[in-house]
Amino acid sequence: MSSLPEKKSLLDIITQKIVTSQLWRSIFRHGYPDTPLNQSLVMMGNVFLHLHPVKVSRQAMKITYTWCMGGISFFLFLVLTLTGVFLMFYYVPETHTAYQNINQLSSAVSFGHLVRNMHRWAAHLMVVSVTLHMIRVFYHGAYKPPREFNWVVGVGLFFCTLFLSFTGYLLPWDQIALWAITVGTNLAPYTPILGQPVYQVLVGGPAVGQATLIRFYVGHVILLPLATAILLAVHFWRIRKDGGAAGPPPPPRRELEARLAEAEQGLAPTAAR
């Protein structure tokens, strides 16, 4: 019996030409991802996908499991960065003009009111989402080895989020901001040993004033966002190295054996779920 060579359609020939070209192969260095090897190569060779480990637990990817609070926190951080850059074009950290700046931004600048409120709301929401994320991680015991270092990095991120909120609060230089920060910073000197130096570093003088505004401004727009960005890079790198988000622990061996026995007796359609 002789087998005739299969006739290829024009589309097949063009596809073949493209996928064997040097240009294509310089970008896609693997075959179609229908084998475990090619699937792994896709994950490792793509700039976006390589942020994930090659294998992740299906359970841990479920939105009902992570609540996506980490992802939402990151999204809010990006929103805050973008809207914050916009606000920086108009805001000047000077005690006589800061309040006017903010008022003009809200009333006279196109989209100023919207962007200011986006920044405000995203800041409040980020405090909520980071706290919920922390509670979720704790509830699932995802702080346990090998993720204990990432928990510590997370605590750093939590404090950065709170300090970003705290420093941003003073910037409008209205009565509520001024007195809230006066009360907040006056708590510091009551801390033993470190209290007074910490107060000096924060306030920069005998009372909340121009020096405080500059300090809070620099902290709010440079130091804290930079620290957060660095910690986020470490956080995401660590998640990848720790094998992605920790899924629920596998069922105990006895339960698996019982399921297997049930399946063998034909009581259940599949052995492993």
Question: Binding residues for ligand HEM, per CB under 6 A?
Answer: 66, 68-71, 73-74, 77, 130, 133-134, 137, 140, 142-143, 147, 150-151, 154-155, 157-158, 161, 232, 235, 239, 245-246
Cβ closest to ligand HEM, residue 71 vs residue 197: 71
Q: Where are the alpha helices (DSSP H) in the chain?
A: 10-20, 22-27, 36-45, 58-61, 63-66, 69-88, 98-107, 112-139, 148-170, 175-187, 195-203, 210-218, 224-241, 253-264
Cβ closest to ligand HEM, residue 130 vs residue 208: 130
Smallest gap, in angstroms, from Cβ of residue 135 to ligand HEM?
9
Smallest gap, in angstroms, from Cβ of residue 54 to ligand HEM?
16
Cβ atoms of 202 and 212 within 8 Å: the answer is: yes
Q: What is the CA radius of gyration of the chain?
A: 27
3-class DSSP string for 103-170: HHHHHCCCCHHHHHHHHHHHHHHHHHHHHHHHHHHHHCCCCCCCCHHHHHHHHHHHHHHHHHHHHHHH
Cβ closest to ligand HEM, residue 25 vs residue 55: 55
Cβ closest to ligand HEM, residue 68 vs residue 180: 68
Smallest gap, in angstroms, from Cβ of residue 26 to ligand HEM?
32
Cβ closest to ligand HEM, residue 91 vs residue 166: 166
Smallest gap, in angstroms, from Cβ of residue 39 to ligand HEM?
21
The burial of 133, by beta-carbon neighbours within 10 Å (0-12 exposed, 13-18 middle, 19 or more buried), is given as buried
Cβ closest to ligand HEM, residue 133 vs residue 220: 133
Cβ closest to ligand HEM, residue 81 vs residue 106: 81
Chain position whose Cβ is nearest to ligand HEM: 154
- Compute the Cα dihedral for 216, 220, 226, 230 and give only its sign: positive
Smallest gap, in angstroms, from Cβ of residue 163 to ligand HEM?
12
Token pair 């999204």 is found at 75
**DSSP state at residue 1:** -
What does the alpha-carbon distance between residue 6 and residue 55 come to, in Å, rounded to a whole number?
A: 37
Angle (deg, nearest 10), helices 210-218 and 148-170: 140
Smallest gap, in angstroms, from Cβ of residue 223 to ligand HEM?
15
What are 13-17's contacts with CB under 8 Å, separation 24+?
none
Smallest gap, in angstroms, from Cβ of residue 136 to ligand HEM?
6
